[in-house]
Amino acid sequence: MPDRRTQILRAAARLIARRGVRGLRIGELAEEAGVSTALIYYHFTDRAELLRRTLEFINERADRYTAVRDPAVQPLDPRTDLEHALLLELQDTPEVRENSTAWGELRASAVFRPDLREDLARASLAWVNETAELIARARPQNTASANAAAAERLTSLLEGLSVRWLSGSLPLDHARRLLKEAIAVELADATRGSGTASGGTL
């Protein structure tokens, strides 16, 4: 049984994924979470704080389902780890669909709500850094800044593909294929840049 605070955050993520940030009413959230509105205001000082903590909750959940499997169990090559971490964000499971919908909606809302921007920028940076580390393991010969730029491109592309999928412009399997090819294109570019044969280090 999760604690009350987690129950509220879980319900908030669910409601945001169902009707959007602007459809989130505190009364309905209380009902969805099975708590009183007073308890919501006890845990979160205002709507902005509730949204920021929900963003954090969504990120932690994404960290869990995209975690690279325990390498002691089945060590994989760095490129496969990178593919796993990114492709796991494009899955048609209730959890991933809900999480991706809520993340995209918080991202879109931040265009109009400056009070979300700092937390969103921090969460984006953390994601870029984790991805850059995975890329660096796949192409250690490249500079840290080249790997960081590739991570920014791949995570931005993933956000773009995800909202196309969720808004009905792109079938999921096609989005996954485009992302997989983008990883190949980014890694191939580095391999060529270092003068080794295409794909040779992978």
Q: How far is the CB of 95 from a second copy (least distance, A)?
A: 17
State yes or no: residue 87 binds a second copy (CB under 8 A). Answer: no
State yes or no: residue 124 binds a second copy (CB under 8 A). Answer: yes
Buried b (16+ CB within 10 A) or exposed e, 44-79: beebeebbbbbbebbbebbeeebebeeeeeeeeebb
Give 2 or 195: the residue with its C-beta nearer to a second copy.
Answer: 195
**Which residues neighbour 135 within 8 Å (Cβ) at sequence distance 6 or greater?**
82, 142, 147, 150, 151, 154, 186, 187
State yes or no: residue 130 binds a second copy (CB under 8 A). Answer: no
State yes or no: residue 19 binds a second copy (CB under 8 A). Answer: yes
Q: Which stretches of the chain are DSSP H helices?
A: 4-19, 26-33, 37-43, 47-65, 78-87, 94-110, 117-138, 144-166, 172-193
- Residue 135 structure tokens: 């890329």
Q: Using the rule CB under 8 A, give the single segment among 32-40, 46-54, 64-72, 111-119 that binds a second copy.
A: 111-119
State yes or no: residue 14 binds a second copy (CB under 8 A). Answer: no
Q: Which of residues 162-191 bind a second copy (CB under 8 A)?
A: 163-164, 166-170, 177-178, 181-182, 185-186, 188-189
Binding site for a second copy (CB under 8 A): 19-20, 22-23, 101, 104-105, 107-112, 114, 116-118, 120-121, 124-125, 149, 152-153, 155-161, 163-164, 166-170, 177-178, 181-182, 185-186, 188-189, 192, 198
